[in-house]
Structure 1
Amino acid sequence: MATVEITGENFQETVQGDGIVVLDFWAEWCGPCQRFAPIFEKVSEEHPDAVFGKVDTEAQQELSAALQIQSIPTVMMFRDGVLLARESGLLSAKALNDLMDQAQKLDMDEVRKQLEAQQAEQ
């Protein structure tokens, strides 16, 4: 699946959907982002059942600020509306595929129970 452009307008709708959503926060001037782009695209093609989106931090400054993106590239991975991972820096294809595998294996009912328990403690 080709990557989709994520903006402030479609962010919530995208990440709240069912399944896995992987977002790449990047900027055109960022060298590591440019090196990561083909890796992200390749992994997206290996996982057609997931949504892979790109967030241009220059064009989407409000969204980037709201998510506290402080270094790029940053990858955020959601499943069924739950943020599972946030990794900054240049990831290898293997590292990104490993994150995908871990996300696919999770029991999301158990994850939600753990989140509810954490929130109840606060």
Structure 2
Amino acid sequence: MATPTAYSPKAPSRAEVDALPGDTVVEFGTDWCGYCQGAQASIAKALAPHAGLRHLKIEDGPGRPLGRSFKIKLWPTLVLMRDGIEVARVVRPRSAGDIEDAFASL
């Protein structure tokens, strides 16, 4: 099994995220979060058919401005965006199906 990509401690600004063209998934969490670790297989399965989709894995926590701007409370949270506008959100997905249902918004 492949090792999941780590959450990046370097986050773009909210203005940079809002300016991204096309479809984007912004995933908020931390590498030490048990819920985040447990969801990685489901997230990978749901994203697999969408190879060209931009996926940003951003480390979140107190004082992290990007997460605060999205009002993130629980991890992992996936924010699905189209042309900088949030169209769906999945909080603590339990299965790939939870995430795939949100893709209908894109």
- Classify the TM-score, shorter chain: 0.7 to 0.9
Aligned positions of 1:27-66 closer than 5 A: 27-58=30-61, 61-66=64-69
Conserved 8 A contact 1:76-1:85: yes
Say yes or no: does 1:96 pair with 2:99.
yes
> Which 5+ residue runs of structure 1 have no aligned equivalent?
104-122
Q: TM-score normalised to the size of structure 1?
A: 0.66
Root-mean-square deviation over aligned CA pairs: 2.7
Runs of 4+ in 1 over 6 A off after TM superposition: none
Partners of 1:47 and 1:82 in 2: CA distance? 19
Identity %: 25
Structure 1 residue corresponding to 2:75, chosen from 67, 72, 92: 72
Per the alignment, in what secondary structure is the counterpart of residue 102 of structure 1? coil
Partner of residue 83 from structure 1, selected from 86, 95, 98: 86
Deviation at 1:78, TM superposition (A): 0.4
Deviation string 1:5-63 (CA, Å, 9 cap, x unpaired) is 48433654344222211111111221111011222223222102311111111497222
Which structure carries more helix by proportion? 1
**TM-score, with normalisation over the residues of structure 2?**
0.75
Does the C-alpha gap of structure 1 residues 43 and 10 become closer, same or farther in structure 2, counting only changes over 3 Å? farther
Corresponding residue for residue 109 of structure 1: none
Contact 2:87–2:105, Cα closer than 8 Å, also in 1 = no
Pair 15,97 (structure 1): closer, same or farther in 2 beyond 3 Å? farther
